[in-house]
A = this chain, B = another copy of it.
């Protein structure tokens, strides 16, 4: 069946796959809902989008995404309230950032109205897949790929903008953090004047090998340092990073090397709202090592859409291993609770971050 709504062609699935899904046992990002949204860019403009059954796309082997890496994405979440209304968290930030990322790779912007119209229509169509309850959410993956055929190294003239949806549970199943990170001292994530601030696909592939080496040493992730001196702590590749020294929270300023994380800036705001001292400034490897040695480094945590806040239990640096104390009432847990309470309508939304999907 094909119908046209609000300039979107909608082809509904014959039979939902939802009964095959065990929502109590979801691996992150592995199960997708019944439908996906696709909008093609050609002849210099975005064409009429389609919502169709989720499934493989057909693409030429010479498509530029495979050869020249024009691919950007976002990560967002939607939540279902007790009254079945659907909510998102600061989605305008993701909408702006995917265009920032696209433009950095010489890809066209996707119009804000089409972004929200498409995403909300898709969320409502697959609304049964959004589970209520603590920790449940719908992970939303907007992405854009270059689809023009041809193996010459120039920007594509054709693109696909897509939304795919993956139901998610909380990263936290109780208990403390076992995550240990390694401070980078050889490999790097991004260059001054490079694409580190963009959510560009290529930024991730480059991290896998150094992360693999870290994993062989018993660390789960790498905290990247500046490529030039390795003296300053930047971000963890899939998360921004915060350090608590004494009662003060430290995090690096954004730059053309560091992603302007939405969870990151929400944490900074919420921490300030809660009266926690926050310093956004260059953070030296040496000061964090010193703080760990003298006992003032109380916490480290990552911040990102998928986990919201991911506590870090310890770190490795230049062959030494450092373990952080286990705290009751950690900033990580306080901030995570406050942000997830705002996201799920259990706390006052004084900054207007919650966004209700239009019925």
Contacts and interface: CB of A to CB of B under 8 A. Distances in A.
A68 interface: yes
A200 interface: yes
Contact of A70 (B58, B146, B208, B238): B208
A244 to B, nearest CB: 25
Interface stretch (A102-110, A128-136, A295-303, A330-338): A102-110
Contact of A188 (B32, B58, B191): B191
Interface in A184-227: 184, 186-195, 200-206, 208-212, 227
A153 B204 contact: yes
Nearest to A221: B153
Number of identical monomers bound together in the oligomeric complex:
2
Interface in A116-132: none
Nearest to A209: B106
A32 B62 contact: yes
A79 interface: no
A252 interface: no
A246 interface: no
In this complex, the interface size class of chain A, counting residues with CB under 8 Å from chain B, is 35 or more
Interface string A41-78: 00000000000001111111110011111110101000
A182 interface: no
A196 B318 CA distance: 24
B30 A67 contact: no
Contact of A200 (B187, B195, B205, B237): B205
Interface of A is mostly: loop
A189 B184 contact: no
Contacts of A71: 65-67, 69, 205
Contact of A189 (B67, B150, B154, B194): B194
Nearest to A198: B206
Contacts of A153: 204, 237-238
A61 B68 contact: no
Contacts of A54: 61
Given A58-B56, A206-B105, A208-B154, A68 B188 contact: no
Contact of A59 (B32, B59, B202, B212): B59
Contacts of A276: none
Contacts of A192: 188, 191, 227-228
Given A27-B152, A54-B61, A195-B206, 7 more contacts: A36-B61, A69-B204, A70-B205, A70-B208, A139-B151, A153-B237, A193-B227
Interface of A: 27-30, 32, 36, 54-62, 65-71, 73, 75, 103-106, 139, 141, 143, 145-146, 149-155, 162, 164, 166, 184, 186-195, 200-206, 208-212, 227-228, 237-238
